[in-house]
A and B are shown apart, each in its own frame.
Chain A
Amino acid sequence: MSETVLKPTNISLGKRMSQWIGWAFFWDLAGGLSLTLSYMFSKPVTEQYPDKEKWVPFPRYRGHHFLTTNEDGDTNCVACELCAKICPCDCIEVVPYEDLKGNRRPKVFNIDMGRCLYCGLCEDACPADAIKLGPHYEYSTENLEALMVGRDTLMGMPRKTKTDGGVFEAELSTTGAVQVKVAENKPGYDWWQRIRRH
């Protein structure tokens, strides 16, 4: 814009005149003002987490691990330790034992969530489809020890989501753990679709 103004030969006199008249009446400033005004009366895109809304991830999301269970409520894990082997940051510790039914099961299955990088390789390596990465992501703690998660906790962690992700109505609950609970049977929306583009 400014280059064309500096070279008056490129631009006709009439056009230059109208440009000057426009500047004299703050036409360029009016453009900016009308833009901010239209934004002021448009809907905010703020995702009101944690007060009113929460982002629920897609099924492919890699969050807090969980151990799948069979009909008896027992873990599917056969304690083969392949996940511990493939783990790039060495954060899984498995100690096998033989339970009363004669199955090989993990006596200890610890994951150090502070070290985990959520690559999902353990999920790929698992021959029994026992370890998976779920949708849970709100587990900040005040000490590192609490990030060392054991077998029983892992078995109780939230499973993969059935539906696609989106922003859902939710409310903050501080009883027990501080968590944002998603309201049931309310339609979510895609946050990205609400962003205004030009």
Chain B
Amino acid sequence: MTELIPLAVLIAKVIVVIGVLLILPIPLTWLERKIAGHMQQRMGPMRVGWHGLLQPLADGIKLLTKEDHIPDEADRFMFKLAPIITLVATFALFVAIPIGGSFFLFDQEITLYLADMNVALLYVLAVSGIHVFAVILGGWASNSKYAVLGSLRTCAQMISYEIPMGFAVVGVVMLAHSMSLVSIVEAQGAVWNVVYQPLGFLVFFIAGLAEAQRIPFDLPEAEGDLGAGYHTEYSGMRFSLFMISEYLIVVFMAALTVILFFGGWNDPNVPLPPTLWFAVKIGFFIWVFMWFRFTFPRYRYDQLMSIGWKVLLPLSLANILVSGLIMS
């Protein structure tokens, strides 16, 4: 009986994580539209509920009841598979994300993460690569030129930006002597990594913007020139699966930035519960993502590539070199 308790706790945690992740895009869409509105001196959604709070629910009902259209010449199996892969890959990312330390409940240690892998950092970088796979499948299966163009761009962009991103976090790993996200956060108890690794943070954050396909790197779904990119042909529920995973990747990028560079749930002097403090930091970075979105125009495709290969990659390598020299 007693050996079943950890299993029950684990299942409960999985259910909570899935529930929270499924609900999270609802406030985020509202927030994004509100922030967009106020940055343009508008008010954003105001009609449904108090200050439009119920607008995402109305949108959800609309998406659920909409016709789920599959183009005639699409590859039906792959077309249906792509949104599922993207959602599964995104959910799998959050297995490795810790949201706090551990506490004791009825003499049972409850950890606030699903898995503390010793290669968690490698795991999240690899699994975020699977998302690209889903995007390419979706674009290819749609049998539409805009969708294929969008997914080709995604492919090139993701591969280009995953390299500087991977190099940018090497400095963090060197400081923490571990790839486990929990140990990385614990190593930042005194000083946050952003103090030691400002360049690493900069490269990571810019590459993270590109990974999350946010403006100014949202070329995969450039509404202006591609329709909607890889999900041009998707509608109804399948489209909303893509949207959910997109918002979750934004949350994931914000969470990873906080864990790697801003001390995770470590609070210097603020008397807040660690998990709440962590959530506040994530919220701030999500807001920064939205702030960028409504400030900057989109980069041109060749500019995107040259930033990735000619600026970010050398910078991230120099960062490793300099931090290695200083530490040795």
Inter-chain contact B39/A39, CB cutoff 8 Å: yes
**Smallest CB separation, A9 vs chain B (Å):** 27
Nearest CB in chain A to that of B216: its residue: A29
A46 at interface, CB cutoff 8 A: yes
Instruction: List chain A residues, Cβ under 8 A from B47.
Output: 51
Given contacts A42-B41, A44-B41, A196-B41, contact A51 B46 (CB under 8 A): yes
A32 within 8 A of B: yes
Find out whether the CB atom of B38 lies under 8 angstroms from the CB atom of A39: yes
Task: Tell me which residues from 29 to 80 in chain A have a Cβ below 8 Å from any Cβ of chain B.
Answer: 29, 32-33, 35-37, 39-46, 48, 51
Is B249's beta carbon under 8 Å from chain A? no
* B35 CB-CB contact with A under 8 Å: yes
> Of the candidates B39, B41, B46, B294, which one forms a contact with A45 in the assembled complex, judged by CB atoms under 8 Å apart?
B41
| A 126-145 binary contact with B (CB < 8 Å = 1; else 0) | 00000000000000000000
| Interface size range of chain B in the complex | 10 to 19
* Main secondary structure on B side of the interface with A: loop
Check if B39 sits within 8 Å of A44, measured CB to CB.
no
Complex contact A36–B39 (CB within 8 A)? yes
Instruction: Identify which of A35, A41, A46 contacts B43 (C-beta below 8 A).
Output: A46
Please measure, in the bound complex, the distance between the C-alpha atom of A42 and the C-alpha atom of B40, giving whole angstroms: 10
Is B106 an interface residue when CB atoms closer than 8 A count as contact? no
Give Cα A32–Cα B216 distance, bound, in whole angstroms: 13
Size of A's binding interface in residues, CB under 8 A:
17
Task: Verify B42–A33 contact, CB threshold 8 A.
Answer: no
Q: Which of B50-68 contact A (CB under 8 A)?
A: none
Q: How far is the CA of A32 from the CA of B292 in the complex (A)?
A: 9
The yes or no answer to B37 lying at the interface (CB within 8 A) is yes
- Judge whether A29 and B296 touch: CB under 8 Å: yes
Q: In the complex, what's the smallest C-beta–C-beta distance from A33 to chain B, in angstroms? A: 5
Check if B295 is an interface residue, CB within 8 A of chain A. Answer: yes
Chain B nearest CB from A145 CB (Å) reads: 31
List 20 additional contacts besides A33-B292, A39-B41; criterion CB under 8 Å. A32-B295, A32-B296, A33-B291, A33-B295, A35-B295, A36-B39, A36-B294, A37-B291, A39-B40, A40-B35, A40-B38, A40-B39, A40-B291, A41-B38, A42-B41, A43-B41, A45-B42, A46-B41, A48-B46, A51-B46
Residues of B with Cβ closer than 8 Å to A? Answer: 35, 37-43, 46-47, 291-292, 294-296
